[in-house]
Amino acid sequence: MAGKQGSVHRLKVTLREVRPPVWRRIEVSSDVTLGQLAALLEAAMGWESYHLHAFEVAGATYGMADVDPPPDELDEAGYRLSEVLSSAGSKMRWRYDFGDNWEHDVVVEAVGPPEPGVEYPVCLAGRRACPPEDCGGTWGYGELLQLLADPTLEDPEGRREWLGPDFDPAYFDPAEATAAMRFPRPF
């Protein structure tokens, strides 16, 4: 059924090299383009869409054509999820923010027909908050987690203040992620 019009991909998206793990399980229409998928992944994870991204799968790189891509990079707008990841077990890497270099593993858990009465896209589950934008990648985020866990640690750069009082690294709500995925976004 992979690649058929009207099918749904269930994806598990895991942020690499972050402990404790940050992940999401989402379901999206199989016919979304990779450009549309990037916006959905950003929303589900909690990224703010401030940075560039690229997909890497089976030796090919798919990126944003409007940002002067390298000659060997394919335009993500021209490829559908069902073409690139056609069946359960298929996987790719998604990179977000080439400065902080957040890498995500995207694994297809299932491909099947849409469930009656379910609106897509949907976030089914997940764990932990997405790291804040521009926090310095996995290393910088690790430092932030240490500062939050131990208020006696010195913070000469004022990172706690920069982060603000509302950030809870353990918080995640699938309903909020679903709402963010459904918010009209430019594709």
- Residue 184 clears pLDDT 80, i.e. is over it: no
Q: Which contacts qualify for 63-67: CB closer than 8 Å, 24 or more apart?
A: 64/35
The single-letter DSSP state of residue 124 is: E
Residue 147 within a domain? no
Residue 134 within a domain? no
Instruction: Show the domain range for 77.
Output: 8-129+173-182
Residue 149 within a domain? no
Residue 67 within a domain? yes
Number of domains in the chain: 1
The pLDDT of 88-113, averaged and rounded, is 96
Distance, in Å, from the CA atom of 67 to the CA atom of 1, rounded to the nearest integer, reads 34
Instruction: List the CATH number of the domain containing 102.
Output: 3.10.290.30
Residue 81 within a domain? yes
Distance, in Å, from the CA atom of 103 to the CA atom of 108, rounded to the nearest integer, reads 16
- Residue 187 clears pLDDT 60, i.e. is over it: no
Report the percent of the chain where pLDDT is more than 90: 74
According to the model, what pLDDT value does residue 132 have? 93
Q: Could you tell me the pTM of the whole model?
A: 0.90
Residue 32 within a domain? yes
Name the band, by pLDDT with cuts 50, 70 and 90, for residue 3: very low
